[in-house]
Structure 1
Amino acid sequence: MTACTDTDAQPRSSPCAAHVDARTAPVLSRPLILLLSMTCALAVANVYFAQPLLESMASSLAVRPGLIGVVVTATQFGYALGLLFIVPLGDLLNRKRLIVSLMLLSAAALLVVASARQWSVLLAAMILVGLMAVVVQVVVAYAASLANAAQRGQVVGSVTGAVVLGILLARLVSGLVADLAGWRAVYYLSAGLMLGMALLLYRALAAVEPVRLDASYPGLLLSVWTLLVTEPVLRVRGVLALLGFAAFSVLWTAMVLPLSAPPLSLSHTQIGLFGLAGLAGALAARRAGRWADCGHAQRTTGISLALLVLSWLPMAWAESSLLALIVGVVLLDFAVQALHVTNQSLIFAARPDAQSRLVGAYMCFYSIGSALGAAAATQVYALWGWPAVCALGAAISLLAGLLWMANRFTPAHDLTEGNPR
């Protein structure tokens, strides 16, 4: 059979065709994919619980509103550290033990957040929450390593779709629980869920040993930087991820501020409901994986970046039209998640022997972009208001599109995007 390439042409005998035979069937069972997806959804939720709760946290700890966005930045900083120092271990250690250990440590960090009474303690605990949340990327690499090459995009898309749902449910559930029992209850509840999932994973996951690497831990970390230098597709797709998730974080960090302020004055639960508009992102994740398997990665990237830029136009009217905000959120979430899955499908295909290190390096770009977007969004809103936030998001999105177009039409494009010459 002819393998799919990163072009828009689909061969008649492509494994993307409906009649996929046994040789291209997924290796992972449906129950295992569901369990891994649930793990990712719950783990990633810990990174995003704080976004609808920023005002309550600021009031509880007597922190000025312009500074409270640092909570999100601290979490993303911890996430970036975990991507650099923990995720690569998936190529060296038993992944089952690594996943279960991270889940248990995450529960402990969440308990510290829930009981924090000082600003410095909260920030330190949020860094730990982000650090342990990289279990998501260990699970993604685990799933990708077991998946059949012809179906890898679909498997990654399914797991990533669960990540999107986790992000959306995080905003909804945290708002609802905070209205009922306060923001601390959100983190107590999550700690209990993480403990329960750790037990399920311990019983269900096979103790699959990674391919033996002739490297120490320092050598393993060094190889991550080597991949950044030697893999053009990782660099190109990483920069697109940085800009895409910076725009994503600008929206979701700043959006709570105008929605909770007069004249709208929405509750935590009502603000959390806006996350449901992002269900389009989950659909995009599933579909984008299939499109990547079928050779449409470039077309998907171009459409995603165009939608990302356009999404900020209706969102500029958010203070006078909630419907316009919903339209913008749908467009933005669809665009960012389709781009994200396409990026991952391409980088996994570049080096199947280095799944954990690749995803760790790639997600560093994601985390840096999210952290910068969160920090900038609250400051821009405090200084110039919501229209300036939308202008910032649109500028970041446009920059991503221009960089992709510049790379798309360079002679080296075939090498950086995995195309045959």
Structure 2
Amino acid sequence: MAIECSDTGGGSGRSGRSGGTGGRQASDTASVTVSGASPPARLVPLLALACGSSVATVYFAQPLLVTLGERFALGSGLLGVIVTVTQLGYAVGLLALVPLGDLLDRRRLVTGQLGLLALALLAAGLAPGVAALLGALAVVGLLAVVAQTMVAAAAALAPPARRGRAVGTVTGGIVTGILLARAAAGVLADLAGWRAVYLASAGVTAVLALLLRRVLPPGAPSAGVREASYGRLVASTVALFVRHPLLRIRGALALLVFAAFSTLWSGVAQPLSGPPWSLSHTAIGAFGLAGAAGAVAAGVAGRWNDRGFAQRTPGAGLALLALSWLPIALTRQSLWALAVGAVLLDFAVQAVHVTNQTLIHAVRPDAGSRIIGGYMVFYSAGSSLGALGSSLAYAAAGWPAVTALGASFSLAALLLWATTRRTGLPGDNPAVERPRSASRRGGSGTLKDPDGRSAGVN
């Protein structure tokens, strides 16, 4: 199923078509190509804020795990279930909801999901028992994937020369949201109880939905995608990853990197809340701020990618990720060591993450929402694995076991990158986007992949 694009050259064969057809083609072209103009100056920062707020909802529970375990009678080995159920909901949303970004008007989709997310957060804050809490958190995870729809929107609205910077800015907002989620959750829990965390977030999310309704430009899907069924659109996400090795490799890297990330941040509440530190919710949440370097890394990595350093950035980041576990291992002896390790880990994770998203979007820009959604399934699976693994490791052998688990994930990611670093990169894989030329167009103006396939829902 092809996506039609109008010729900018204005050939005589095209000029003879009806105005209605030409109008439709112009609309389709606008939906699958990026104009030379940058998005409105206020839009990218607002998307970054909304992304951060949405993703934060997935991480509110991390500094509250011990309190939630006591409130709902969950043992230390089961605390990871609270994070895991949210991440599983997130994984389902990535496959079921994010592809809708290629099918529906992006403004309605984004604002609608934010409104529903506000309701789910309200339900979590009012949950009377553990079943209601876990159910509400699963729905929160399901709807929090709106952040990935907004990342895809930012990438689609930015011109190719500034796409890395736009993705870096929005991803930086996500990182900041994750960091502030822990700090804000800790402060609110100490001041007004854990329920206030989710109730306050519900109000913020509702306000952001209204703001984006006003400033986010509508984005109609292409004709080819509009004609596809929802089931075929979701299935095409899997087909894209089967077809392109770059997507599979970057997805596997995301799984391992975020397993390491979640191993630290889902497990650290237990040693910090017990002897010798016995820290409050506020203090535990504040440790998330030590990883603020991750927000810096997102912007830096975006600029490096725009300058052509996409091959080098992941290698340096993964080496740094593995080294970060050396100071993290000393958490019981020094809080400064934990802070240093957190800075290194968050910087490394986000540098790799931004590079991954920039590279995979270039494979098929017309399928940006589906590609980013499929990629983030790996992210969610890794986060779930790290959360559950860290709680089980801590219950079995304490913090040394958690450290060993995180280091193992990090070393596995470094090994994977070293053995596959050139697979699917520009110059090796014809699927990666290159500048348009006449040889890429069919006689009727149909946009085709370099290998001759039409760029449709496949």
Provide the C-alpha distance between the structure 1 equivalents of 2:45 and 2:420, rounded to a whole number of angstroms. 37
Equivalent position of 2:285 in the other structure = 272
Aligned pairs for 1:275-314 within 5 A:
275-314=288-327
Provide the C-alpha distance between the structure 2 equivalents of 1:175 and 1:373, rounded to a whole number of angstroms. 21
Equivalent position of 2:40 in the other structure = 29
Aligned pairs for 1:112-123 within 5 A:
112-123=123-134
Provide the C-alpha distance between the structure 1 equivalents of 2:110 and 2:42, rounded to a whole number of angstroms. 18
Counterpart contact for 1:24–1:151, Cα < 8 Å: no
TM-score relative to the length of structure 1: 0.92
Provide the C-alpha distance between the structure 2 equivalents of 1:112 and 1:66, rounded to a whole number of angstroms. 25
Provide the C-alpha distance between the structure 1 equivalents of 2:395 and 2:313, rounded to a whole number of angstroms. 35
Residue number among 368, 371, 387 corresponding to 1:374 in the alignment: 387
Shift in Å, 1:134: 0.4
Shift in Å, 1:409: 6.4
Provide the C-alpha distance between the structure 1 equivalents of 2:422 and 2:90, rounded to a whole number of angstroms. 34
Equivalent position of 2:222 in the other structure = 211
Provide the C-alpha distance between the structure 2 equivalents of 1:47 and 1:393, rounded to a whole number of angstroms. 20
Shift in Å, 1:29: 2.0
Equivalent position of 1:383 in the other structure = 396
What SS class does the counterpart of residue 297 from structure 1 fall into? coil
Equivalent position of 1:14 in the other structure = none
Counterpart contact for 1:285–1:338, Cα < 8 Å: yes
Give yes or no for the alignment of 1:191 onto 2:205.
no
Residue number among 146, 161, 164 corresponding to 2:175 in the alignment: 164
Shift in Å, 1:416: 9.1
Shift in Å, 1:24: 9.5
Query: Which stretch has the larger CA shift, 57-66 or 339-348?
Result: 57-66
Counterpart contact for 1:346–1:417, Cα < 8 Å: no
**Which one-letter code corresponds to 2:328 in the other structure?**
M
Counterpart contact for 1:233–1:416, Cα < 8 Å: no
Shift in Å, 1:270: 0.6
Q: 1:156-196: CA deviations, max 9, x gaps?
A: 00000000000000000000000001101100000011111
Provide the C-alpha distance between the structure 2 equivalents of 1:241 and 1:281, rounded to a whole number of angstroms. 15
Query: Which stretch has the larger CA shift, 308-317 or 405-414?
Result: 405-414
Counterpart contact for 1:90–1:98, Cα < 8 Å: yes
| Identical-residue share of aligned pairs (%) | 56
Counterpart contact for 2:364–2:432, Cα < 8 Å: no
Give yes or no for the alignment of 1:106 onto 2:120.
no
Shift in Å, 1:210: 2.0
Shift in Å, 1:252: 0.1
1:82–1:183 Cα change, 3 Å = same
Give yes or no for the alignment of 1:361 onto 2:374.
yes
Q: Which runs of 5+ in 1 are unaligned?
A: 1-22
Shift in Å, 1:294: 1.0
Equivalent position of 1:18 in the other structure = none
Residue number among 253, 261, 264 corresponding to 1:248 in the alignment: 261
TM-score relative to the length of structure 2: 0.84
**Which one-letter code corresponds to 1:259 in the other structure?**
L
Shift in Å, 1:361: 0.5
Provide the C-alpha distance between the structure 2 equivalents of 1:162 and 1:140, rounded to a whole number of angstroms. 10
Equivalent position of 2:429 in the other structure = 415
**Which one-letter code corresponds to 1:109 in the other structure?**
A
Shift in Å, 1:411: 9.9
Query: Which stretch has the larger CA shift, 62-71 or 327-336?
Result: 62-71
**Which stretches of structure 1, 4 residues or longer, exceed 2 Å deviation after superposition?**
23-26, 408-420
Q: 1:322-344: CA deviations, max 9, x gaps?
A: 11111100000000000000000
Provide the C-alpha distance between the structure 1 equivalents of 2:276 and 2:372, rounded to a whole number of angstroms. 43
Equivalent position of 1:228 in the other structure = 241
Residue number among 331, 352, 355 corresponding to 1:342 in the alignment: 355
RMSD over equivalenced CA pairs, Å: 1.8
Provide the C-alpha distance between the structure 2 equivalents of 1:98 and 1:411, rounded to a whole number of angstroms. 32
Q: Which runs of 5+ in 2 are unaligned?
A: 1-33, 435-458
Q: 1:294-322: CA deviations, max 9, x gaps?
A: 11011101100000000000110000111
Larger Rg: 1 or 2?
Answer: 2
Equivalent position of 1:47 in the other structure = 58
What SS class does the counterpart of residue 292 from structure 2 fall into? helix
Counterpart contact for 2:246–2:424, Cα < 8 Å: no
Provide the C-alpha distance between the structure 2 equivalents of 1:124 and 1:62, rounded to a whole number of angstroms. 16
Q: Number of aligned residue pairs: give it.
A: 398
**Which one-letter code corresponds to 2:87 in the other structure?**
Q
**Which one-letter code corresponds to 2:230 in the other structure?**
Y
Provide the C-alpha distance between the structure 2 equivalents of 1:254 and 1:417, rounded to a whole number of angstroms. 40
Shift in Å, 1:66: 1.4
Provide the C-alpha distance between the structure 1 equivalents of 2:174 and 2:431, rounded to a whole number of angstroms. 25
Shift in Å, 1:415: 2.5
**Which one-letter code corresponds to 2:205 in the other structure?**
M
Shift in Å, 1:40: 0.5
